[in-house]
Structure 1
């Protein structure tokens, strides 16, 4: 295959389809979404079989447990995909929304209209659900999409792509509105990220190495986050009934996701009270704790398995483990916690456990991350949980889109002017 010619053809088709998608009615887009959901449910067994084939090859290739976890698609996961599509169909269509219309002294009225970005390229590893989520969000927001999944999910991605094509055809929309690249040749990625004439934005989803490469080499704007070193801070005004459930869920609900807590900070005043309980809960699930001297002393004294306790190095404070490992530090209080987070965090998601309203509001204002939470698990930092239906990715950038990127994040705004014959004097 001539990769350059193949990708140029994909790009041309996407650009043409993007014009049709920008003009598509809400009804047509919603028909496509609900039909895709129906197709996904109807083809559940074939999707599971395709995923099983991918998993067999992935294990043979020695993929890491975190990658295997992301790659695995269950019956519940298939239902979640379909439900996500249906939820997106119920969301308001952002395209064409007009806001901030004001009359100027000249007589003209000036405002803004929300419009699609155009053609969105999504590059991702493992997670086959991204194929459905990305297709749905791009479709509803009036964009065309070029999807390049990893070779480890090739069979499942193509099976989901068949469902997407069926939905587009049923709605009378161009099949090229969502194209899933069929080759696993890495040169296809290099072409995709250097086609500004066809592609308006790139969204990479995957490991840090992939995102660093895309950010470095792309000639197209990139919406990205590099890693997810998420923190939970236990304040001395925390509700005792909330501490262990939140910390345990944030760390152990899933290990291979970017919104999993990787660092735990505990106020010194309550460290002796809470660290033994937290340590016992994490140890019961085999979580290794890499702590500061003070936290390790408390954990050892409380009887936590010494084999799960290790001295933290400087690099541990900034690490995204994606594994049953957590960094633990005792801090003086909220000032030290905020300073630590803003120094070491990747800017993804942070949570405070406290009943002190003033401190909670300070945490919200002063912690510089895409999602900041009070008394909730970091695992909620997700497009579906935020009511976006799904997400195209998480952005830790500060321009255009930040946090889970849903429909609004896949659109832009242009200025619009209503006149009645006015001329500038």
Structure 2
């Protein structure tokens, strides 16, 4: 059972006073920001990244780029990234925190230099899977010492470059393994050809996002089913603008479904590879109205939600918010396709089943998802396990249930440091 929580370390999630009428803005996409930072670090000239997310995860990525020899400068227009210069041979360390993108995207960059680079972070990152990626990097010519753990801490001993070439990869636990190899591929002497083995990676949209950013930076990735090829290339993208984070927008766009009224999310892109765009179709399926125009997305809700059967394999990061929403549905719901969530910031399936049930809902975790039987939700502490998406789920619960005390709301700083204030503003 979770440890007792001090009252000063909780946030009382506000109850919606009635139908909403609000406009909100969410910060830049974490997934896009950190991919753009990696590619900018590999480019042949500086890159200005506009409207990036400023959060713990993205600051950790900037710290990694700096440790590896790149330059990072905050300007009034955005963040200016200067490419990594493979100079020096003194050992350095990269701090991972609990950032999966940093842990998975930066080891390949360390192989391009000539120094030993140690990677370590929070206790939680040591439990997140990375062994298939490390094994693939070894086969591509990198020297990595992890004492057989297949997890941080580990050390990459740079040899002044990475051979690259062909490699098989099991990316079924995380699409980030595949993205890590593809993002680094342009800097490998032979590029990279990745043949996927095992089950399909989760979150196809994130793979499409990686391929799209590679093209934006001048690479020429190719895909033939489960085979991906990225040839060597000199990258360049002097000016890049990051889209708003649509997954971070999830609690705001589902709110009217529980409260009625309207919420407008500014800047929602008309075309995007972000998995969060799937929310528009979900809202329609649940009987809500979602209209997209040049100004953004306008959601008008009914205040009632039907039960649903949802395969969230491609959009697993939305599961916590959707599960909280379905606790108030008119009938039972089933979420499937998200077994990989057991290896995220925490075992999200077990955490959701435990915490939602503790507050009155009947929620069971299955082999690959959740089974939700709505029941009256009451107040109490909602433990968040240092997981930003669980903070957002707790906020959604609070819309309809008084007395929800969300543990450690500051952990939402991983993706949206201003979330609590923005949430209160929506309800004002």
Structure with greater Cα Rg: 1
Instruction: Say which structure is richer in helix.
Output: 1
Output the TM-score relative to the length of structure 2: 0.29
Higher strand share: 2
